[in-house]
Amino acid sequence: MPVWIDTHCHLDAAEFAADAQAVRERAAAAGVVHCVLPAVSPANFALVRELAHRWGDSYALGIHPLCTPQCGEHDLAALERALDAHAADPHLVAVGEIGLDYFVPGLDGPRQEWFYREQLRLAHRHGLPVLLHVRRSADPLLRQLRRIPVRGIAHAFNGSLQQAREFVRLGFRLGFGGTLTYERALQIRRLAAELPLSALVLETDAPDIPPHWLYRTAQERAQGQPQGRNEPAELPRMGEVLAQLRGMPADELAAATCRNAGEALPRLRALLPG
């Protein structure tokens, strides 16, 4: 059975509060040997660290752009203290989830840009890669990356081919997951099929971005069918879709994306079985 790495899943989310252990066990049974658990604010730093240690997974610490309205300079200071305190923790593999979001209305652009820039500086100082939130924000993210040299993963990538190539040139891997399972996601599927294999990693963003087989339409939800909860156990099936798009065996795709994950997040390699 191929083995897989989920490079971005939020198993600390409230949706998993009742059964996180069972969710992780299902993922392991499906061949997901490792999960990366990114934080979104200081409020969940301790939990992602505890879960990563419990399961032999890894974690990242950061302030998500959607959390910037509630966060202040004291939260950035808390991030700096946490990175200092856990600098020797092999399970801490990145600063994240950080980035910019110009899709959600009402966010203060300059404020989230300040948080993004300061967190890039912290990542650079600690020698850590970053997990980037990229939503209608690829170009401003890239501008800062040209000034503050860090590497990492552009999570849930949905930009243009030109933007993808620039992220890759700057040393990033691009995260693909549930979105590529939708036949109408033509741009995402084209990128996933045509970019160099060395540029790709897989992720679920669980519990979000469900694959098409879990998606419920508005009409179905109105009829009482709940929206399917995404889980890391869905990753192998997403990987099979990506392998089909690229015309290659699933086990080769799995091996390549695992290797790419280790290159994007170097500390992760020491945590992998075998």
Which pair of tokens denotes residue 132? Answer: 């980037």
Give the chain's count of helices (H) and strands (E): 10, 8
The dihedral built from the CA positions of residue 187, 188, 189 and 191, taken in this order, carries a sign that is positive
Domains in the chain with CATH codes: 4-271 (3.20.20.140)
Over residues 177-211, the pLDDT tens digits come to 999 999 999 999 999 999 999 999 999 999 999 99
Over residues 64-79, the pLDDT tens digits come to 999 999 999 999 999 9
DSSP H helices, 72-160, are: 73-85, 109-126, 138-147
Q: At 154, is the pLDDT very low, low, confident or very high (cuts 50, 70, 90)?
A: very high
- Residue 212's nearest CA partner among 193, 230, 191, 236 is 230
Whether residue 220 has pLDDT greater than 90: no
Mean pLDDT of the chain: 96
Q: At 256, is the pLDDT very low, low, confident or very high (cuts 50, 70, 90)?
A: very high
Query: What number is the average pLDDT over the span 28-56?
Result: 98
The pTM is what?
A: 0.97
Whether residue 225 has pLDDT greater than 90: no
Q: Residues comprising the binding site?
A: 8, 10, 97, 133, 155, 205
Which pair of tokens denotes residue 105? Answer: 């209305």
Query: What number is the average pLDDT over the span 218-244?
Result: 88
Query: What number is the average pLDDT over the span 1-18?
Result: 97
The secondary structure element, H or E, covering residue 255 is helix 250-264
Q: What percent of the chain lies above the pLDDT cut of 70? A: 99
Q: At 29, is the pLDDT very low, low, confident or very high (cuts 50, 70, 90)?
A: very high
pLDDT of residue 252: 98
Q: Residues comprising the binding site for a divalent metal cation?
A: 8, 10, 97, 133, 155, 205
CB 101 within 8 A of CB 156: no
Taking the C-alpha atoms of residue 208 and residue 250, their distance in angstroms, rounded to an integer, is: 24
pLDDT of residue 226: 72
pLDDT of residue 216: 78
Whether residue 274 has pLDDT greater than 80: no
pLDDT of residue 223: 75
